[in-house]
Structure 1
Amino acid sequence: MTDTAKLLIDSQCALGEGPFWHAARQQLFWFDINNRVLFAASADGVVENQWHFDEIVAAAAIVDETTLVLASETGLKRFDLESGEIVHLVDIEHDIPANRTNDSRVHPSGAFWIGTMVKDEGPKQGAVYHYRAGKLTRILADVAIPNATCFSPDGRTAYWTDTPDKKILKCTTDPDTGMPIGEWELFADVSGHRGYPDGAVVDSQGYLWNARWGGSCVIRYAPDGSIDRIVEVPVSQVTCPAFGGKDLKRLFLTTANKTMSAEQLAAEKVAGGVFYIDVDVAGQPEYPIVL
């Protein structure tokens, strides 16, 4: 089954990333990591807010209707959407200025998994951290580009990839704490098929949707790792999916235009935009972080 996503917002993001649907606000949030901007838009693509930061911010967790926790290059920050006030919560690699945060997501237990990576990419000097109820724990080390962090609806399985390895992995997690309690094993080997595995999200049926950097698509995988369907995207650098809208059946896709040649930019004029497709399955709601 193959469909094609359509342009929703021509946002021209250098590195559009970290999308999530805020149900209480009925808004899609996403970041342009390289330009240090957070956007908020309605489900039909009207940009309603944007915020600029003085450091890289790659992802966020929901606290309540007016508060987020930002995963910034120096740590977790409590952010008031109304006043703009930022309060530092915990350091994350504050002493490693070469690194920044990347793909991150909240587990059904309220645990925030936060990935880090070298800003210039390449070296395996990043990590993945678990934060819940004030405690930060490193759970993965020697990571190049952490991505595809997402969880099954019952909170018992985590998925993750180190993008250059082209393998999506899975492990068993404690549904009450979000901590990994099993060994990482192969979920899907994507080498030789449609680019590199980037961000991912799991829908309400337990199927994983993986964006493909350089692959011009998002691929839906069944729980057994087989390909269920492919959604084509009319730009090459697809970064991350998010379910939203009133019924959580609108799939939003962020993209990027960084590193593209003049010829590529001419061919992909809307690269860096947000795309969407309405699907027949609902996503999971975003779970609030437990501070």
Structure 2
Amino acid sequence: MTAIDGCSDMGKGRSIEQVAATLLCAERCHLGEGPAYDEASDTAWWFDIVERRLFEARLGDSEIFIHPLPFMASALAHVDDRRQLMAAEDGLYLRTKDSGVLQQLVAIEPDNPITRSNDSRAHPSGTFWTSTMGRKAEVGAGSIYALHRGALQRLFTGLTIPNAICFSPDGTMGYFADTYENVLYRVPLDLATGLPSGGPSALHRRETPGWLDGAVTDADGLIWCACWGGACVEAFSPDGAHLRTVAAPALNTSCPVFVGPGYTRLLVTSAYQDMDISARAADPHHGCTFLLDIGAKGRPEPRVKLAADP
């Protein structure tokens, strides 16, 4: 891993903090997304959606493996020490970590060739929220679903680019964004099921350059959201107040997750999608994956509970 001197200052409009940044993976992602972390093995995972690749980074010894996939996939969560639940373009799959064997658990929108999977995250109850969007970001083509004890139900529809799915530490509040609208929403949840107990309401509308993308909450309940085109990660309070803007080394930051002992570092993916040669030259770390020392503490990501789980 390599320290980076001076993060990008491409994000404009707010006071931007410079923090220590480390290059975790120099392999560029066309569309880096969906990072997750497994504390037991000190391993981080993320995807290059467009190039159909799954990255595995063993943080303790800096080993990185790239697994080719037979389809586009965008996010995962852990079921147990052996299995992961993966969101892919045609549904949810169980993946055996040691062998990489994939088994479809449930199809999502199988009769709709327009859409693919996008952002996902597990609720403290073990319910897994996942989303779809148009392959060409068709307006209103996206939806958010919940897999609760093996049963899939659609929660919200008419979205364009669902993102920023995350949950309050106590599980009573959910968050998501529509990147196309640049609005972050919150919705009250049933703690036991991770399902909505009321309707969503707008929490924050971004009006400075950049677009709300993937997000994660920290141990204090702050929402850390990557800003596509903003070269930064922003922190919001649970009531939507903007608290911090932290510079990132690439323009198109896409999704964060807390990693490492004590969950004190923020892993952030990025992308070079839709960037021409000159744009890439102006953004030397485009598509790379980073660790930021932001001075906040995360917490373990919940494991998914399936129908047969106790």
Deviation at 1:123, TM superposition (A): 2.2
Q: Do the aligned residues in 2 keep the contact of 1:9 with 1:45 (CA within 8 Å)? A: no
What's the counterpart of residue 219 of structure 2?
204
Deviation at 1:207, TM superposition (A): 0.3
What's the counterpart of residue 180 of structure 2?
164
Is 2:104 the partner of 1:88?
yes
What's the counterpart of residue 118 of structure 1?
134
Is 2:284 the partner of 1:284?
no
Deviation at 1:194, TM superposition (A): 3.0
Deviation at 1:235, TM superposition (A): 1.6
Q: Amino acid of the residue matched to residue 263 of structure 2?
A: L
Deviation at 1:43, TM superposition (A): 2.8
Gap change, CA 1:125 and 1:131, over 3 Å in 2: same
Structure 2 residues without counterparts, runs of 5 or longer:
1-15
Is 2:118 the partner of 1:102?
yes
Gap change, CA 1:44 and 1:195, over 3 Å in 2: farther
Q: How do 1:93-242 and structure 2 match up within 5 A?
A: 93-190=109-206, 192-242=207-257
Secondary structure of the 1:264 match is helix
**Counterpart-to-counterpart distance in 2, 1:290 and 1:275:** 30
Deviation at 1:44, TM superposition (A): 6.2
When normalised by structure 2's length, the TM-score is 0.90
Q: Do the aligned residues in 1 keep the contact of 2:246 with 2:294 (CA within 8 Å)? A: no
Deviates most, 279-288 or 21-30? 279-288
**Counterpart-to-counterpart distance in 1, 2:109 and 2:93:** 13
* Deviation >6 Å, runs of 4+: none
What's the counterpart of residue 69 of structure 1?
85
When normalised by structure 1's length, the TM-score is 0.96
Gap change, CA 1:45 and 1:182, over 3 Å in 2: farther
User: Once the two structures are superposed, what CA deviation does each residue of 1:220-271 show, in whole Å capped at 9, x if it has no partner?
Assistant: 1122211211110122101001001011011010000111011111111221
Q: Do the aligned residues in 2 keep the contact of 1:14 with 1:256 (CA within 8 Å)? A: yes
User: Once the two structures are superposed, what CA deviation does each residue of 1:58-88 show, in whole Å capped at 9, x if it has no partner?
Assistant: 1111012221011111111111111121111
**Counterpart-to-counterpart distance in 2, 1:159 and 1:108:** 13
Q: Do the aligned residues in 2 keep the contact of 1:249 with 1:281 (CA within 8 Å)? A: yes
Deviation at 1:183, TM superposition (A): 1.6
Q: Do the aligned residues in 2 keep the contact of 1:7 with 1:274 (CA within 8 Å)? A: yes
Q: Amino acid of the residue matched to residue 26 of structure 1?
A: D
**Counterpart-to-counterpart distance in 2, 1:56 and 1:230:** 31
Deviation at 1:45, TM superposition (A): 8.0
Q: How do 1:26-37 and structure 2 match up within 5 A?
A: 26-37=42-53
- Percent identity (aligned): 37
Q: Amino acid of the residue matched to residue 146 of structure 2?
A: H
Q: Amino acid of the residue matched to residue 159 of structure 2?
A: V
**Counterpart-to-counterpart distance in 2, 1:44 and 1:13:** 22
